[in-house]
Chain A
Amino acid sequence: MTEQEKYDDIPGTTLFDAAKSRAGYHLNMFCMSLMDDANRKAFKADEAKYLDRFPMSPEQREAVLKRQWNRMLELGGNIYYTSKLGATDGLSFQNLAALMTGSTQESYAKMMIEGGRPITGNRSKSEWKNRG
């Protein structure tokens, strides 16, 4: 495997590399703008209109409006930026993690208290093929 293929083989994980950073620049800078309270209010008042300020792709806009958290990562979003959109919605990192893993908040929190997601079975996409 090439180095890139080895990274790509890690399941459920997006590497925020040059390609992702370039693709996600405006998406992430939109999220960054939500650090400002006036911007948060403007976004909440009319989300689609606010997004017009940022030259994002239609797919990125849709992912933001529908709060598709994993899709945002695929389209170049970075978790430290998308978490600012989460914070605007009142969601913590752990709330977002539960959403991205398809868990309920309760079962995700329970998994963490019990020691987290184990490394065994989570190193390679080949290990995820037979997941239910």
Chain B
Amino acid sequence: MAKLIAGVATSHVPAIAAALDNGKSGEPYWQPLFKGYEFSKKWIADLKPDVVILVYNDHASAFSLEIIPTFALGCAEEFPPADEGWGPRKVPVVKGNPDLAWHIAQSTILDEFDITIVNKMPVDHGLTVPLSLMCGQPKEWPFQVIPLCVNVIQYPPPTGHRCWNFGKAIRKAVESFPGDQRVVIFGTGGMSHQLQGPRAGLINSTFDKNFLDRFSADPESLTKIQHLEYVREAGSEGIELVMWLIMRGALDIDAKEIYRFYHVPASNTAVGHMILENRH
């Protein structure tokens, strides 16, 4: 059976894409951020996963207010980079794994997670920035990617508790898939940030560092954080952190923390990053 071996949590700030794509990653402003991912790039290059399930949110690129799926699973052969208003990022087309994706869709729906199956979906910076941070600028992405797009823009997003349980269902789905694929799951977005209104620029490092500690050692306690607390304490866009709980729910409760990085700022955002490996 396929095996879910590790998880990666990371922010997905669009300015990171702009910095990389415009050759600014060595500038003093950006250098500390990219330095923080050097370990991670080596780690994933050594690990060589076959498939990454990438939990992210679309930013009014593939979806608009016409259709707002809470959980949308990308089951296509491939996913082109989205045009977010400046032309698509010049990054490789994302290759999917329809066999495994459809299996996850079937398994999780029968487990009572009523997800949306998507066969056509451009992917924006929410998905491609984590790939760039973890893989640099290759000609082809070094693994297949199954996009799992979560609504965190229209209130209410799914609860952290729901995300956690969905992660468990994904783990069960992966590990009932006949094959020998080694699968890693990414949870992206966050950490504290607010992009809108007179409170824009909010950063709450105390909240973020506490979240990272508990994410590693006591993750289930994070499922009790209510939306109100995310919005007030981590900013209106900090609520993206519920997506991290899908990733964490898919891992062992005692998964081993391999690496952690925290940096303020990337544009308006506190960047958080953690790698965990399953023991079992």
Residues of A within 8 A of B (CB): 3, 6-7, 10-18, 21, 25, 28-29, 31-32, 34-35, 70, 73, 78-81, 83-84, 87-88, 92-94, 96-97, 100-102, 108, 111-113, 115-119, 122-123
Contacts and interface: CB of A to CB of B under 8 A. Distances in A.
Interface of B: 14-15, 18, 29, 59-61, 64-66, 83-86, 153-156, 192, 194-207, 228, 231-233, 235-236, 264-265, 267-268, 270
Contacts of B267: 92-94, 112
Contacts, number: 140
A7 to B, nearest CB: 6
13 contacts: A11-B198, A11-B199, A28-B65, A29-B66, A32-B60, A73-B196, A78-B153, A80-B60, A101-B199, A116-B265, A116-B270, A119-B202, A123-B233
A78 B68 CA distance: 14
A16 B195 contact: no
Contacts of B200: 12, 96-97, 100-101, 117
Most chain A CB neighbours (cut-off 10 Å) among B86, B154, B196: B196
A111 B201 contact: yes
B201 A7 contact: no
Nearest to A117: B201
Nearest to A111: B201
A87 B202 CA distance: 22
A7 B228 contact: yes
Determine the main DSSP class of A at the interface with B.
Answer: helix
A39 to B, nearest CB: 11
B233 A119 contact: yes
Contacts of A111: 201
Contacts of B18: 92
B195 A97 contact: yes
B236 A81 contact: no
Nearest to B13: A93
Most chain B CB neighbours (cut-off 10 Å) among A13, A17, A87: A13
A55 to B, nearest CB: 14
A13 B194 contact: yes
Contact of A108 (B85, B155, B201, B270): B201
Nearest to B231: A10
Contact of A119 (B14, B86, B154, B204): B204
Given A11-B198, A15-B236, 8 more contacts: A6-B228, A16-B154, A21-B154, A32-B65, A35-B61, A88-B85, A94-B15, A115-B203
B179 to A, nearest CB: 37
A96 B199 CA distance: 12
